[in-house]
C-alpha cells in the first residue's frame, strides 16, 4: 500500500473505482452535471474493459432516485450497488466489500458532491490506509467555490487530485497494452469543459510563468 501512495501510480491489479451518488435528483442542482456524467461514463466503460471492480453508492435512493440512466452499471455486481444514508461511502457494507478484495488498495473516487460525500469518503479511506485518487473532472458540487476548495482540502488529506485521462493512461502504462485501442477510443473525442479550470485564468497563469522564467 505504501508504494502506491508514494509513487502515485494507478495499477489494474490493485485499484478499485468508487462511484459516489450520481443520481437523477441531483441533475438540476449540480454544476456541470452532464459533463461529470460523461467522465463517469468513460471510467465505467474502462472498468468493464479492464476488469476493474466498481462500488456504486446511492444516497437515500427512495427519495433521490437511482444512478442516472446514462451510466451503464450492468457489469457491477448487484451487491456492489449500495444504498446509504451516511454521507461517506465507507459504510459497514462497503467496508465488507473492501475486506473481500484485500489486494485493492488504491481507490479512484468520483461523483457528487465534491465537498460532502466525496470528501468524507476520501478522508475515511485515507484513515484506513488507502491511496485515493479524486477525479476532479468526474466530481462536482452545487457551487464552484465548494467544489474547488474541496480539491484543496483533498490534497491536504493526502489524496491525489487527478483527471480521468490521467487515470486511464496510468492503467494502460503503454500502447502495447492489449486493450489500448479500446480504451483510447473512449477519450478520442475531448470532453466538454467541466469547470475545474477557467481557461482565462490558465492563460494568465501561463503568461506569468513565462515571465517569471525570463
Question: Where in the sequence numbering do the catalytic residues fall?
Answer: 21, 84, 117
Alpha-carbon span 203 to 128, nearest angstrom: 39
φ and ψ at residue 16, rounded to 5 degrees: -140, 145
Alpha-carbon span 135 to 161, nearest angstrom: 6
- The strand pair at 131-140 and 106-112 is best described as parallel
DSSP conformation class of 193: P
53-78 burial, b at 16+ Cβ within 10 Å, e below that, comes to: bbbbbbbebeeeebbbeebebeebee
Amino acid at each position: 500500500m505504501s508504494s502506491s501512495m508514494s509513487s502515485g501510480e494507478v495499477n489494474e491489479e490493485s485499484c478499485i473505482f468508487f462511484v459516489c451518488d450520481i443520481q437523477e435528483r441531483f441533475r438540476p442542482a449540480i454544476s456541470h452535471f452532464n459533463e461529470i456524467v460523461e467522465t463517469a461514463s468513460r471510467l465505467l466503460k474502462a472498468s468493464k474493459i479492464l476488469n476493474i471492480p466498481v462500488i456504486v453508492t446511492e444516497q437515500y435512493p427512495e427519495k433521490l432516485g437511482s444512478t442516472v440512466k446514462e451510466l451503464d452499471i450492468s457489469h457491477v455486481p448487484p451487491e456492489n450497488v449500495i444504498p446509504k444514508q451516511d454521507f461517506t461511502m465507507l459504510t459497514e457494507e462497503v467496508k465488507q466489500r473492501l475486506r473481500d478484495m484485500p489486494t485493492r488498495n488504491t481507490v479512484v473516487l468520483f461523483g457528487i458532491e465534491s465537498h460532502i460525500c466525496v470528501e468524507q469518503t476520501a478522508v475515511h479511506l485515507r484513515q484506513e490506509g488507502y491511496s485515493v485518487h479524486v477525479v476532479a473532472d468526474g466530481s462536482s458540487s452545487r457551487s464552484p467555490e465548494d467544489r474547488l476548495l474541496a480539491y484543496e482540502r483533498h490534497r491536504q488529506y493526502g489524496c491525489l487530485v487527478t483527471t480521468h485521462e490521467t487515470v486511464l493512461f496510468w492503467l494502460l502504462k503503454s500502447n502495447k497494452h492489449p486493450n489500448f485501442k479500446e480504451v483510447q477510443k473512449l477519450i478520442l473525442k475531448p470532453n466538454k469543459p467541466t469547470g475545474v479550470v477557467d481557461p482565462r485564468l490558465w492563460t494568465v497563469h501561463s503568461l506569468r510563468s513565462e515571465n517569471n522564467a525570463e
